[in-house]
Amino acid sequence: MILNDVHRGIQKNKKRKRLGRGPGSGHGKTAGRGHKGQGSRSGVSSLSIWVGGMTPLVRRVPKRGFHNQFGLEVAVVNVGQLDKAFAAGEEVTLEALEAKNLAKGRFDLLKVLGDGELTKKLKIHAHQFSKSAIEKIEKAGCEKVVLPGKTPVAVKQRAKRQAKKS
């Protein structure tokens, strides 16, 4: 290996392609647009999914299901997981769960489910609790704190209209 060959051909800041600057540049005359046709004209713009007369892939692939853009993303944690991760007397908050990798990523609501056993006394903060989780929390003598959820857009709009009226 020759040392000066290592970085040969590697450019840190590549120069932009200068179009229409004479025949010597290799991109003169038609400036890389070819001869005639739609693409050669000024002001041409085509869809990113355009595949030259063929039905685009986006339209060929079947669509299934429904995605609710207003649906809330719910993160779930089981009572058993809380028992393993937290020591007795600790407070289970959203920040503590994220720190212990029990509630990962982005979510709107945190729900505690009743899978597993709870043996320690904890103070659990969450938006929702399942019936079985509530039973196990009460049985273990833990405290549950219900956090307020996201206010729906419709409720905000209604409140705004009420404020305008009065």
pLDDT tens, residue by residue, 113-140: 999 999 999 999 999 999 999 999 999 9
What structural domains and CATH numbers belong to the chain?
A: 74-146 (3.100.10.10)
Going edge to edge, which strands form the sheet with 123-126?
91-92, 123-126, 143-146
Average pLDDT, the chain: 91
Q: What is the mean pLDDT of residues 14-23?
A: 91
Phi-psi sector, 86: left (phi>0), alpha (psi -120 to 50), beta:
beta
What is the predicted pLDDT for the residue at 139? 94
Q: Specify the pTM.
A: 0.58
Chain centroid offset of residue 101 CA: 17
What is the predicted pLDDT for the residue at 50? 86
The four Cα atoms 124, 129, 135, 139 give a dihedral, to 10 degrees, of 0
